[in-house]
Each structure stands twice: as structure tokens, then as C-alpha cells.
Amino acid sequence: MLPEEEWPQSVMFADGSPVPAAYVTHVQETGLRLAVDVGWNAGDLLLVDNVLVGHGRRPFTGPRRVLVAMSD
């Protein structure tokens, strides 16, 4: 299929050596434990500073409209 370095969840150290699975699991579990869910209402706007925080989204169902602008 794909070489490991092209996998969406492939991680390695700067020298190219693999990050042990236990390290990856620790980071994933810590991120989930510290995650803050945002309650959404029609018309809401959320600004995220990509330098200060990691961000993502949980799975969902239903319609949505996402508008994105990036700035520095």
C-alpha cells in the first residue's frame, strides 16, 4: 500500500528513527484526557491560535458548514 513514512499516523524522531508505540500512546491518551469540548450553537465563531494550542475534532454526524481563514 503506502510506505510507513507516508502513513497518516506515522511518527518519527528528527533523526528518522521510529518513536516507540508506548510514547505515541502516551501522547494520544494525554491529549484526550486534556481535551476541551466546545458546545456549538447556530452562528457561533471559534478562533484558535495554532501556536498556543493543538486542535482537532471528534467524530460527528449531521450537516455542517465550515468557513476557514488563516492569518499570522
Residue 18 lies in a domain: yes
Q: Is the dihedral of CA 53, 54, 58, 60 positive or negative?
A: positive
Residue 21 lies in a domain: yes
Residue 45 lies in a domain: no
Residue 68 lies in a domain: no
DSSP state of 18: B
Q: What is the pLDDT of residue 31?
A: 87
Q: Can you say how many angstroms the Cα of residue 67 is from the centroid of all Cα atoms in its chain?
A: 18
Domain hosting residue 19, numbered range = 4-34
Task: State which residues of the chain have pLDDT below 70.
Answer: 5, 8-9
18 DSSP β-pair partners: 12
Residue 29 lies in a domain: yes
Total domains in the chain come to: 1
Residue 59 lies in a domain: no
Query: Nine-digit cell at 15?
Result: 533523526
Q: What is the pLDDT of residue 30?
A: 92
Separation in Å, CA 17 to CA 4, 11, 60: 12, 9, 35
Q: What is the pLDDT of residue 68?
A: 79
Q: What is the pLDDT of residue 18?
A: 87
